[in-house]
Every structure is written in C-alpha cells, then in structure tokens.
Amino acid sequence: MIPDFVSDRELAQNLCFCVARIAAEYGLGYRDTAYSGLLAAEFLEEGMNCISDPPANIYSDRGHLGQTKLHCLAVEKRCAILVLSLRDDIQATDRAILQTYLRHLGFEWGLVVHFGKRDLKLRWVSAPSRSSPAPSLNL
C-alpha cells in the first residue's frame, strides 16, 4: 500500500516493482551494499535517474558546516531510499535516519527497503516538518 503522503504514485509503484524484481532474482542473504548497487543499476535500467550516496550541504544556525555523503539512493530528485539487509526488522532509528536524509535532500518522501534474513520489508517515510530553511542540494 502506498500512503497518501507519497506525491508521485507512479514513481512509487515503479520503485516497488524494481525492489520486488531484485528480491525475486537474487534472493535474500547479501549485504546492504550489494542490494544498493543492484537497485541503483535496476533503476537506471528502467530509465530512472538514480544517485548513490548523494552529496548534501549541512547547515546549522551558524551557517554552512560543510558537505557530506548520505548513505542512500536519491531517485528522480524526489525520493530517497535507505537500503538495509540481514537485520531482524526495520527499526525506528532507521526511519529517523531516512527522515534526516529527506530533510537534507529537500525530498518529501522516501522508502526504507529491508532485505531481511527471512523476508523483504518496505516502510514508507514522510519528511519531517521543516523548522529551518530548505537545504541546498548538489546533484
């Protein structure tokens, strides 16, 4: 089920299709870096713009602190995907990490994809409400 806060339902459906295809073709049991690479290649093959470990400028009340790489996939400059594997489940901290990535990227929604020990799990995540100016993005 795609929640109402997901602004691009077609993109969301395509993402789910690609995730399911990777899970069916390769199965479970690989590291998250392997699945991240497989998903990035799958998204590109499907004609979607995908950036692995996108750079983001980090700001504080004092101004620009620098730039870092976020450990996710940025798809179509609209969605961030956090890829996990071999854990027992998706944790609240995983959702919070993805929300931080969404805030830094300026995206409205994202997806945690967990290639678990026994099954595949997805969790949709909405961006946190903004209390500071939108960050800039260098994609």
Radius of gyration of the chain (CA): 15
d(CA 52, CA 81): 10
Element spanning 14, H or E: helix 9-26
Other CB atoms within a 10 A radius of the CB of residue 59 amount to 16
Give per-residue pLDDT as tens, 1-53. Answer: 899 999 999 999 999 999 999 999 999 999 999 999 999 999 999 999 999 99
pLDDT of residue 85 exceeding 80: yes
Q: What domains does the chain contain, in order, with CATH numbers?
A: 9-126 (3.40.1350)
Instruction: Please tell me whether the overall predicted TM-score, pTM, comes out greater than 0.85 for this model.
Output: yes
**For the chain, what percent of residues have pLDDT higher than 90?**
88
The Cβ-side half-sphere exposure at 56, using a 13 Å CA radius, reads 24
pLDDT of residue 139 exceeding 60: no
